[in-house]
Amino acid sequence: MINEQRFIKNFNEISKFGALKGQNYLQNSKPTGGLTRLAFSNEDKNAREFFINLVKSYDLDIRVDSVGNIYARFSDVLEPDLPAISVGSHIDSVPNGGFYDGTLGVMAGLEAIVSIKEILKTNNEKLKRPLELIVFVAEESSRFKMATIGSKIISGKLSVSRLKELVDDSGISVFDAMKNFGLNPENLEKSILKDKTYKSYIELHIEQGRVLEEMGISVGVVTGIAAPIRFELTINARADHSGATPMNMRCDALVAASHIILAARNFASEFKTAVATVGYTKVIPGALNVVPGKVVMGVDMRDIDEKNLNTLNQNLRNYINDLSNEFGFSYEIKELAADTPVKLDDSLINLLYKNALDLDIKAHKMPSGAGHDAMHMSGIADKVGMIFIPCKNGISHNIDEDIDFKDAIKATNLLTKTMMGLANS
């Protein structure tokens, strides 16, 4: 159904932007060694320019909104004003990340649309509805400590003032990064999409876990997406001389942080699908011979059950408050994200599963523990679905992230068949 060689070639080409091995990123015609392509970086800019030129070469319509989301559209259809069938993902990465997280979904979406366009031409047919591919800007949270910025903006969940508040480690705000990138974030409202803009939205992504690989299954049909609650906690204690301060006279910020890290793990373990992670700590002053006087730490909690997620969040906050009274430190909590878990559309789940069986592809219905742009598309699209493929050893956000491209080809054929059917509905 799809052109496998074209798909592989285009994926390998976009993978060179940000590749840590430079131009030598390919081994045995496969990207290796990982990449760093942070949002609004030069690597991101070059990858976007490559993608835009590639889209133009396939005679698709293209536009970029005021905050940097890219839209590629096929509108040579019977009723071009009907809500489109959409597909999408992102091309920014974490530092020292892999090639497949996000980018695979973008290139699979492009291949699906181009393949459908060619099938229609060969058969002298036309679809009823348009097709549209979305490349969301700044999906990863690595730079600004907030994930899915582009999809949050189009769904009306972020304001201009919030873009000015979110800053990276260099103090550059999302707003300023966008301005420096040649975008117009002051016109953010023009990027917001209306409800029912799309008939459906599907996102193809690597699983970022080990379930599919261990089951020996090529495709996962996602049933729901876990949401994160994130905050940055600052513990203000007292820096003292490490030799001259007796243990019973200390107010050690790092000791307090260690209790909170363990509490986060223990509280999350009380729920079946919840997870909690302290992803970073900054110890101040960070000297060997000084009792730590301050710790800044990032807390990430997730669950597919909204009630349990909120309970986990409250339990940890209560613990921090009680610990501060016991240990004698003060603290500040800076809210970073508070998203809502999303259940995906049952009819689209069933359609994807049926189409997989029709294509003789083994499929498994499963939840997503990681967040994705798809979680912000409910309402904007009548139906939202996701397709997973296995990643080797479940590794993601890592230079060793890898896949069997045969799984990607199967999933992209499933995506193509499903989009084509939906576009005629």
Whether 302 has a binding-site annotation, put simply, is: yes
**330: its two tokens:** 């003060």
Question: Which residues touch 229 (CB under 8 Å, ≥6 apart)?
Answer: 300, 301, 302, 309, 310, 312, 313, 337, 338, 339
The verdict on whether residue 241 carries a ligand-binding annotation is: no
Q: Is the dihedral of CA 76, 77, 80, 85 positive or negative?
A: negative
3-state secondary structure (DSSP) of residue 138: coil
Strands 275-284 and 294-303: antiparallel
Is 210 flagged in the annotation as binding?
Answer: no
As given in the structure block, the two tokens for residue 210 are 């080990």
Nearest to 411 by CA among 50, 37, 4, 65: 4
Orientation of helix 4-14 relative to helix 405-423, angle to 10°:
110
DSSP 159-202: -HHHHHH-B-TTS-BHHHHHHHTT--GGGGGGGPPPTTSEEEEE
Q: Are 33 and 26 in contact (CB under 8 A)?
A: no
Neighbours of 230 (CB within 10 A): 22
The answer to the question of whether 376 is labelled as a binding residue is no
238 marked among binding-site residues: no
**397 among the known binding-site residues?**
yes
* Residue 90 labeled ligand binder: yes
Report the distance separating Cα 415 and Cα 280, nearest Å.
37
| Residues ≥6 apart with Cβ < 8 Å to 157 | 376
> In the sheet that 227-236 helps form, which strands lie side by side, from edge to edge?
275-284, 294-303, 227-236, 330-338
76 annotated to a ligand binding site:
no
Binding residues for Zn(2+): 90, 101, 140, 205, 397
Binding residues: 90, 101, 140, 205, 230, 289, 302, 397
Binding residues for allantoate: 230, 289, 302
